[in-house]
Structure 1
């Protein structure tokens, strides 16, 4: 083989390998509870991940009654362990889409969000934040109000916004949010009512939205799931979510739970499940975030044209960490 051919082959091999190379950005965490407490399990997870940024949910904004005169904060952050105070904390505010539909004054809403965000930061960290992430699954109908809100907030913060898969594929319709940075949420992508598929994450769904030619005009962090949940479906088709799964114990209680599939059960008689009273013929779907599936979805995004900076794992929670092989996942990123 000629030297020139060997050189070309070597360069092609290096290029191929680099596409699947290890992530070189930070691996950080979301914290999504009203009390940010520390524990040995959380400290170990932070040590393994190695990042120094914590995306800390400060509060939600919702307006459930369209006739109400104002939107209200919910699930406001109440407690922060001193162990987090040495970290780079990014406040996260979740805004429901219906709040935007009912919003007539985005400037007023932005002021309220900024005021409460600053108050929480001053109380727990002794300073106002420089960065802020807004989490909202906006649509075409709420795009105008949402983008106005973001522009107001951007006057005061280095602003970030969460992005869903449909907002990547259909960016011409949904628009590009006026922010400094985005976070692609790679979870909660499926149909909760489909009792045969995992709604948390699925590589087939990711590949429907992202391919090697997919791009996005702003750089993104990538949010990956660690959590598990139980989807409860009533005989009338109503859906409820319960944190965590308990499939192993359900398999042993054959008098109460009938296994219909690998992760699907039917309730045969009235019972309690994780503190919830459920009656006959309710169905339970156990959903998890397997490391191999999460890693494959991550690689699909990495091989696209999207500029990925850091990874954010959802989320820093003892129950979640206890059911997660974090070390296995980190090795594949």
Structure 2
């Protein structure tokens, strides 16, 4: 009997591992460029073609609040990529309208306001889908919000209203804090969620850590020991940025990191000093002595994050992995092979 138990133990472990193994990954990108952002789309189109990407989570607009205007849409998106890609290929992209709603909207709104917001969000998505995307058939809407414990009830009320009004599948983004503490933060009343495995730390709160992706911080949120009540997809960062400090005061976030790197000298981990007066994009002036915190996301760091996720999370067999975000300059930092592994490594 003892020998039989010893024989069965490794088999049990094998089957346990297989039970939680991801078998299929649907590859996706976020597309987050506002309408005033110029791009020729060549690199972006190549990425979509090379990796057979059929799904884009496109930020249609954001929702903000002021006392004078109430809730109103801002930062509308550049839809030109969709038209460009569909002109160049026979297969169209699946577009999932994504709407970022600032938390202040739920701090300031009552239920009547939120009823109206559900109507207006649905109306504007349909308007863009018809007018800008050739009567695109929308099957899913994703809502992106950094809700808090104090706005949870109003946010969840809005989500419940959006479902019947839109008659679409509703998904949300999920930050790591509400993922780890569902008892405190609640579980959104939606069909599924995308876990955002980045932006773990306030960018200005800790000068010694990479606020986009700190691996120890990520692992501390992952080890919950239980499966989240909703189906979870995964989002990973494929971008880097620089925080500019002038006269020891934070002044700007810079994304054109490759244009800036030649003018920097490392002074300590993550921190650099400008060595030459430089103008970036005709609008940002770097002066000798300015300090820059360079938060870089390398392929190696993403691969380690994937290992942490696989080790600690109980994922479904079929998931979507979405990279944030589709930007030709940022994606120049990765090879095609590296990008391919960001998806395929989940099934290994």
- TM more than 0.5: yes
* Cα deviation digits, residues 219-275 of structure 1 (max 9, x gap): 11100111111112343543521113138744xx4xxx5431243212467543454
How many residue pairs were aligned? 325
Task: Summarize the Cα distance change of 1:272–1:40 in structure 2 as closer, same or farther, 3 Å threshold.
Answer: closer
Task: Summarize the Cα distance change of 1:326–1:189 in structure 2 as closer, same or farther, 3 Å threshold.
Answer: farther
Cα RMSD (Å) of the superposition? 2.9
Unmatched tracts of structure 2, length 5 or more: none
Q: Which SS does the other structure have where 1:323 is aligned?
A: coil
1:1-333 equivalence runs, <5 A: 8=8, 11=11, 14=14, 18=18, 24-34=24-34, 39-63=41-65, 65=66, 67-80=67-80, 81-82=82-83, 83-84=85-86, 86-104=92-110, 105-123=113-131, 124-155=133-164, 156=166, 157-193=168-204, 194-211=206-223, 213-238=225-250, 240-246=252-258, 249-250=261-262, 253=263, 257-267=264-274, 271-273=278-280, 275-279=283-287, 281-308=289-316, 309-331=319-341, 332-333=345-346
What is the CA–CA distance in structure 1 between the aligned matches of 2:293 and 2:150, rounded to whole Å? 32
Unmatched tracts of structure 1, length 5 or more: none
What is the CA–CA distance in structure 2 between the aligned matches of 1:5 and 1:169, rounded to whole Å? 35
Task: Summarize the Cα distance change of 1:269–1:25 in structure 2 as closer, same or farther, 3 Å threshold.
Answer: closer
What is the CA–CA distance in structure 2 between the aligned matches of 1:110 and 1:248, rounded to whole Å? 43
> Under a length normalisation based on structure 2, what TM-score does the superposition of the two structures give?
0.82
Q: CA deviation at 1:218?
A: 0.2
What is the CA–CA distance in structure 2 between the aligned matches of 1:224 and 1:281, rounded to whole Å? 33
8 Å contact from structure 2 (residues 198, 213) kept in 1: yes
8 Å contact from structure 2 (residues 222, 313) kept in 1: no
* Cα deviation digits, residues 167-224 of structure 1 (max 9, x gap): 1112111111111010001111123123322111121011111116142100111001
Q: Which SS does the other structure have where 2:303 is aligned?
A: helix
Task: Summarize the Cα distance change of 1:159–1:246 in structure 2 as closer, same or farther, 3 Å threshold.
Answer: same
> Under a length normalisation based on structure 1, what TM-score does the superposition of the two structures give?
0.86
What is the CA–CA distance in structure 2 between the aligned matches of 1:47 and 1:208, rounded to whole Å? 36
**Runs of 4+ with deviation above 6 angstroms:** 19-22
8 Å contact from structure 1 (residues 20, 299) kept in 2: no
Q: Which SS does the other structure have where 2:62 is aligned?
A: strand
Query: Which range is displaced more, 185-194 or 135-144?
Result: 185-194
What is the CA–CA distance in structure 1 between the aligned matches of 2:261 and 2:218, rounded to whole Å? 31
Q: CA deviation at 1:45?
A: 1.7
Task: Summarize the Cα distance change of 1:89–1:278 in structure 2 as closer, same or farther, 3 Å threshold.
Answer: same
Task: Summarize the Cα distance change of 1:23–1:283 in structure 2 as closer, same or farther, 3 Å threshold.
Answer: farther
8 Å contact from structure 2 (residues 32, 326) kept in 1: yes
Q: CA deviation at 1:132?
A: 0.1
What is the CA–CA distance in structure 2 between the aligned matches of 1:242 and 1:15, rounded to whole Å? 48
Q: CA deviation at 1:125?
A: 3.1
